[in-house]
Amino acid sequence: MRFYRALLHAYPASFRAEYGEEMCAVFARRSRGLRNPLLVLLLWLETLFDVLFNAAMVHLDILRQDLRYTARTLARSRGFTITAISVAAIGIGASTAAFTMLDHVLIRPFPYARQDRLVKLYEDHSFSAGRMGTRWDMSPANYRDWKRLSTSFDGLAMYRGLSVNLIAERDPQQIEGASVTFDMFPVLGVKPMLGRAFTAEDDRDTAPGTLLLSYGLWQSMFAGDPSVLGRKVKVDGMPTTIVGVMPRSFYFPRREAQLWTPTRFSPRHFEDRTDTWVYAIGRLKPGVSLQTAQTELSTIAGQLQHAYPKELAHVGATVVRLRDDGISAAGRVMLTALFGAALCVLLIACTNIANLLIARAMVRRKELAVRAAMGAGSERLVRQMLTESLILALLGGTIGLWLAKSALPLLAKLVPDSMPIAEIPSMDFRVLLFALLVTCATGIGFGVIPALRACRGGDSNDLRDSARSGGGRRERLRSTLVIAEVAGSVVLLVSCGLFLRALWRVQAIDPGFRSDNILTLRTALPLPKYQQRAAREQFYARVLAEARQLPGVKDAAYISFLPIAMGGGVWPVEVKGQPQDLTARQTASLRFVTPGFFSIMSIPLLTGRDVSESDTFNNQFVALVSQSFVRKYWPNQNPLGQQFNFGNFDRVVVGVVGDVHVRGLERTSEPQVYLPYKQHDQVSPWYAPKDLVVRGPENTQALAPALRRIIREADPEQPVSDVRMLSDIVEADTTWRRVQVSLLGAFAASAFLLAAIGIHGLLAFAVSYRTREIGVRLALGAQSADILRMVLRDGLLLAAIGIVIGMPLAYAASVKLQGLLAGVQPSDPLTLLSAAGLCIFMTLAGSLAPALRAVRIDPSTAIRSD
C-alpha cells in the first residue's frame, strides 16, 4: 500500500488531496485476498499503467485549462504581454547569438580527427628584443632536423601557403591553396571523399604534377562532376592531374584554401637555414603532453644552435596547440567580452521581466485571493502563474531565436579569416538547447518569485485591502532590480563608449599614404613561365604603358605587396661599418617597385630621387629607404650614398621617403626599403612585383574592365585577382573594430532601452499606487511642480545609485579590455561622463510620462476613489 501511495505522487497535489484516500481504499479492496503471485503481478502492472496514464491525462487537463486561462489574461493586458515578450526576445536573442559565435570560434572542433592532439611548430626568434616574436615560420632544413630528432610526435608534416594560376575549363583563375607534404593528411586524420590522398611518390622532385581539390572548388569549377579524377589542368603553367576531392567540411590551413599540391623539396632548399618559409603541424603521441613536446624541441633547437652558430644563434622552438593558434589573445578577449555583454543584457532582461511580473502580481492580488478563497490550492495558483511565465518566455524565446539568426551574418564578420572553419556559423542543436535552457530558466526565474509571492500574500487581507497597502517591501525589491538594470547599462555604455573612442583614434591614424581614387589588382606572375627577367620586365612595361593611356589615368605602378594588405616580407639588414649583433638581428620590409609608385601613393620623397628605368641589374644596386630606417642606422648623417647589405647585395641609398604603416594602422611596422624592380633577381621570386596601383579620375573603379582587357592582351593565361580600391583595404583594417563597436552598441542600446522600460514601469506603477496620496497632497496645496519634482526625484535617485554602483564595475571591466582599446584609458573621463549623462537622460525620459500622469491627477476623484 505504501508503494501505491508513492505512485499517486504522479498526480497533481490537488488531485491527490481530493481523491488520494479513496483511491487507496479502492486499491485495498481490489488487492484484498489475492494470493496467486501471477494475479498480484498482473494487478500491479495494470495499476502502474492506470496511474501513469491517468496522471498524465490529469496534468494535460490542467495544462489545457491553464493555457486557456493564460491566453485570456494575456490578451486582456496586451501592453504587458507585448512588453514582456519583447524584453525576453531581446535578452534571449542577444545571448543565443553571442553563444553561437563563441561556440563556433572557441568550442566547435576543427574538421580534423582528435584535434586536441594537434600542435603547430614555430621557430622562436624572440631573442631579438621582443620584436620578432615567438612564432616564426621555419626553414626546410630545421623542419627536416626537428622531424628527424624528435620523438614526441606520431607524425610531423609541413605546409606553406600558395596562390596559383589554375587553368581548367574556363579563364585562368588565381586560387588560394597550400602546398603540403604527403603525410599532412594522415597527421590531420582526414581522407579525401573522392579519389586518393598524396603519397610519398607525389613528393618526389621529378614526379608528375598532382592536385587535390576542395569541395567548394570541385562544385564551382567542375560542377561536382565525379569524373573529375584524372583530369589534366594547368597549375602555374605546369600540367597537373586531379587525384582527389576533400570532404565538404575540410578547411586547411585557412578558410580560403581551395586546393592542395605536394611539396617538392630540392637539395638547394636545405642550404639556407635563415630562409624561413614553411610551417609544421604535428600530432602528439598518446600520453605526451604539450609541455613534454616543448621541452624536447627546445633541446633539439639548442643542439642545432651549437651545430650552426652563425645562422641559428638563439633560434629556439615554440609549440602551440593548433586550437590556440588561429585566434589571437585579443580576439579571445573580444569574444568573451561580447558574451559578457550578451549575458548582461539577458540578466537585465530577466530583471525587467521579473519586475513586470511582480507589478502584475500585485495588481492581481485580489483576483488570486478570490481564487484561493474559492478553494484553488497554492499549487494550482503557482502552476497557473508558472504556465503564464513559461508561455511568455517561450514566445520571447522563439522571437529571440529568430533575432539571433538574423544577427549571425553580422557577427560572422568577427571570425578571423585565418581560422579553418566555416564563415557563417550555423545554429546547431547545441545552440538550440542553450536557447531552450535560457528560455526556460528565464521562465521559471521570473515565474516562481511572483507566483510564490502571490500565494504567500494570498490570505484574506488581500480581499479586504485596496491596492494601496503592503507595498513597502515589494517596492524596495523592485527598486533594487531597477538599480541593477541601471548599473548593468552603465557597464555596457562605458565599454561601448571606450571602444568607440578607440575606433576613432585608430581611424585618425595617418597610414603614410593617400588611398583615395587608387584602384589595385594583383597579377601574380607564375614560375617557371616568368623565370626570366626579360619576360617579367616586358609584361610590366606593356601593362603599365597601356594603363597610363586609359582616359583619366594619372599614373600606374607595380609593387611587390601593397601596404596593410600584406604586412610581412621582411629581410635582415647589415649596415657597413656597424657590427652585426646576432642577438638583435635587424630587419626591414622589402618591396620592389616600378618608377612613379611614390607619387601615385602620395608617399613624400624627402630627399634624393625615385627609382628609375635605368636602375637595371647591370648597373649599381640602389635603394630608397624610409625615414625611420635613416633614424635607426644613420642618425644625424646624410643618408644619401650610404651602403648596406640587403636582399643578397650591397645597395646604395639614393633617396629617402616617408614612413608607411605596412603592418596596418595599429601595429608597429619595420622600417621600409624599396628596390628598383629591375634589380630583383636572386631575391626570392615571391617578392616579384605583383600588385598594380592605378591613380585615376573620380570613378577609378570603372577602370577595372579596361585593365583586365589590357592584362588579357598582354598574357591570355594570366589571372587577375584582388581587384579592390586601396581605400577599401585601409578601411578593412578597422572592420573588426567597427563590427565590435556596432555589436557592443547594439547590446548597450538594448540594455539602455530595457532599463528605460524598467524605470518607466516602476514609476508608472508607483504613481498609480500612490494616486490617493498624491491627490491628498494636491488638495493640501501642493503645486504641480512639487509633484513633478517628487516623481522625477524618485527616478533620479534610482539612476544615481545605479550609476554609483555601475561605474566601478564598468572600470573593472574596461581594465580587462584594455588591450583592445588602442591606448584609450579605462578611466577616460569623457566616456564615463557621457555614460552617466546618457543614464540620467534615460531616467528622465522613462520618468516623464508617469510624472506627467501624476501632475494630471484630479484630487477630488483620487480621494473619493476606494
Nearer to other proteins, 38 or 223 (CB): 38
Least distance in angstroms from the C-beta of 47 to other proteins: 8
Least distance in angstroms from the C-beta of 76 to other proteins: 19
Name, in order, each residue with C-beta under 8 angstroms of 468's C-beta and a sequence gap of 6 or more.
769, 770, 772, 866
Q: What CA–CA distance (Å, rounded) separates 837 from 489?
A: 12
Nearer to other proteins, 31 or 587 (CB): 31
Least distance in angstroms from the C-beta of 62 to other proteins: 10
Q: Residue 749's closest CA among 850, 845, 838, 826?
A: 838
Nearer to other proteins, 20 or 685 (CB): 20
Nearer to other proteins, 47 or 115 (CB): 47
Least distance in angstroms from the C-beta of 374 to other proteins: 10
Nearer to other proteins, 25 or 71 (CB): 25
Least distance in angstroms from the C-beta of 191 to other proteins: 57
- Where does 627-773 show beta strands of DSSP type E? 643-646, 649-657, 672-676, 691-695, 721-725
Q: Report the relative pairing of strands 259-262 and 173-180 from DSSP bridges.
A: parallel
Nearer to other proteins, 6 or 534 (CB): 6
Nearer to other proteins, 26 or 330 (CB): 26
Nearer to other proteins, 20 or 604 (CB): 20
Task: Answer whether 393's CB lies under 8 Å from 439's CB.
Answer: yes
Beta bridge partners of 242: 211
Beta bridge partners of 626: 657
Which position has the grid cell 578558410?
255
DSSP letter, residue 221: H
Least distance in angstroms from the C-beta of 29 to other proteins: 6
Least distance in angstroms from the C-beta of 455 to other proteins: 22
Q: What CA–CA distance (Å, rounded) separates 607 from 654?
A: 8
Nearer to other proteins, 49 or 504 (CB): 49
Least distance in angstroms from the C-beta of 38 to other proteins: 18
Provide the residue type at 767 as one letter. V
DSSP track, 839-851: HHHHHHHHHHHHH
Least distance in angstroms from the C-beta of 73 to other proteins: 19
Q: How many helices (H) and strands (E) does the chain have?
A: 25, 22
Least distance in angstroms from the C-beta of 26 to other proteins: 4
Least distance in angstroms from the C-beta of 379 to other proteins: 15
Least distance in angstroms from the C-beta of 372 to other proteins: 17
Nearer to other proteins, 19 or 811 (CB): 19
Q: How far is CA 64 from CA 71, 85, 526, in A?
A: 11, 21, 73
Q: Residue 258's closest CA among 177, 363, 174, 144?
A: 177
Vertex 551 angle, CA 545 and 557, to 5°: 35
DSSP track, 406-453: HHHHHHGGGS-TTSSS-SSPP--HHHHHHHHHHHHHHHHHHHHHHHHH
Vertex 232 angle, CA 231 and 236, to 5°: 140
Provide the residue type at 36 as one letter. N
Nearer to other proteins, 31 or 336 (CB): 31
Nearer to other proteins, 63 or 313 (CB): 63
Least distance in angstroms from the C-beta of 71 to other proteins: 19
Q: Report the relative pairing of strands 279-284 and 316-321 from DSSP bridges.
A: unpaired
Q: What CA–CA distance (Å, rounded) separates 328 from 416?
A: 9
Binding residues for other proteins (CB under 8 A): 15, 18-19, 21-27, 29, 46-47, 50-51, 53-55, 57-58, 61
Least distance in angstroms from the C-beta of 11 to other proteins: 8
Task: Answer whether 140's CB lies under 8 Å from 269's CB.
Answer: yes
Least distance in angstroms from the C-beta of 66 to other proteins: 14
Least distance in angstroms from the C-beta of 363 to other proteins: 25
Nearer to other proteins, 31 or 818 (CB): 31
Q: What CA–CA distance (Å, rounded) separates 161 from 257?
A: 8
Nearer to other proteins, 48 or 714 (CB): 48
Q: What CA–CA distance (Å, rounded) separates 510 from 588?
A: 20
Q: What CA–CA distance (Å, rounded) separates 582 from 308?
A: 13
Please, what is the angle between helix 429-456 and helix 378-411, to 10°?
150
Q: How far is CA 120 from CA 113, 251, 314, 861, in A?
A: 15, 16, 20, 79
Nearer to other proteins, 65 or 825 (CB): 65
Nearer to other proteins, 2 or 148 (CB): 2
Please, what is the angle between helix 365-373 and helix 378-411, to 10°?
140
Least distance in angstroms from the C-beta of 373 to other proteins: 14
Q: What CA–CA distance (Å, rounded) separates 360 from 70?
A: 13
Task: Answer whether 184's CB lies under 8 Å from 159's CB.
Answer: yes
Nearer to other proteins, 19 or 265 (CB): 19
Q: What CA–CA distance (Å, rounded) separates 498 from 344?
A: 17
Vertex 314 angle, CA 308 and 320, to 5°: 110
Name, in order, each residue with C-beta under 8 angstroms of 269's C-beta and a sequence gap of 6 or more.
140, 141
